[in-house]
Each structure stands twice: as C-alpha cells, then as structure tokens.
A = this chain, B = another copy of it.
Amino acid sequence: MSAEGPTCPDTNPAEGVPVPACARNGPVSHAIFRVARLHRMHVGQLLRRVGLHPGQELVMMHLWDRGPQRAADLVRLLDSDAATMTRTIQRLEHAGFVRRCPCATDKRATIIEPTAASLALRQQVENIWTELENRTLGDLTAAERTETLSILERIEHNLIRAATQDD
C-alpha cells in the first residue's frame, strides 16, 4: 500500500518541515505560512505563562497605550471583528484584566478600561515582545534586521494593494 509517490520525497531534513506540492507554485507563500505558524506558536507559549491567549495581548496593549476605549474603537484599532472583540473583552473581563463601564453620553457604547490588576501584566507583556523579537531575529545583524523589516513591509504593501485593487 501507499503505492504512490513518484513525485517528491519532499521532506526537508534540515528543518522539521514537510514540503507539500504548494511549495512549487509558491515557495515564499509557503515560507510565510511556516514562519507565521512558528511565530504564533511562540507567542502562544510566551503568553500562556502570564495567563493570556494570543490576541488578547493586543487589546491590552492598546488599552495600556491609549487608555479606556469604546469597544468599537478597539475594533477599528485592531482591524478586528466586532463579534470577536465582544467575546475577547468578555474573557478579559472574566479574567479580571478589563472592566466594562456603560458610556454616559452614548447608551449604546461600552467603555473598556484596564484594571489595576492588569497593570502588573504590562511589563511582562512587553518583555514577551522583546523575547519574541529575539527568538525571531536570532543571529541577524542590525543591517539584516533593517532589510528584513523593509522586505516584510513591501510584502505587506503588496498584499494590501492586491486586496483593495482588484477583487
């Protein structure tokens, strides 16, 4: 059985990464996929230590940064989904990192504010981002880091342009 496989003994032994056929049509896309996956794993691992789930830390950082916000503001800031934001806030509230106060001037709106308890998290989260950056960049020189950032921003720009332009 398994009587197939004329194509591709496609496993890259150097990394632990099986390379599917997609790599042929889009090697960079596949690399982005793998890097993003690893990156998310690291974020998740680091955040779990402080009791946060990936995504929640972004909400908290914006709150620490800009102070109390309406839920809708957070949605716009994170370019997220209102539904996702509602539930993320509910979980942060349940975890005690966030408080929800009805807005005085607009009864539809809810003001989200970081609790005092959350302030203890702030330094930890910033350390996490530093640690994450170190793990990501590893041995890259300063010049290479600049180059990396430049390339990523060009890719970002390409993807934004492709999204708005056509389809």
User: What is A's interface to B at a CB cutoff of 8 Å?
Assistant: 1-5, 7-8, 10, 15-18, 20-22, 25-29, 31-36, 38-42, 45, 57-58, 61-62, 64-70, 73, 76-79, 103-105, 111, 125-126, 129-130, 132-133, 135-140, 144-145, 147-149, 151-163, 167
Contacts and interface: CB of A to CB of B under 8 A. Distances in A.
Given A61-B22, A67-B3, A160 B15 contact: yes
Given A28-B136, A135-B158, 7 more contacts: A1-B68, A4-B66, A20-B77, A29-B133, A38-B159, A137-B155, A140-B158
Majority-rule SS of A interface residues: helix
9 contacts: A2-B73, A7-B66, A20-B61, A20-B62, A32-B136, A34-B156, A36-B40, A41-B163, A137-B155
A159 B153 CA distance: 20
Contacts of A67: 2-5
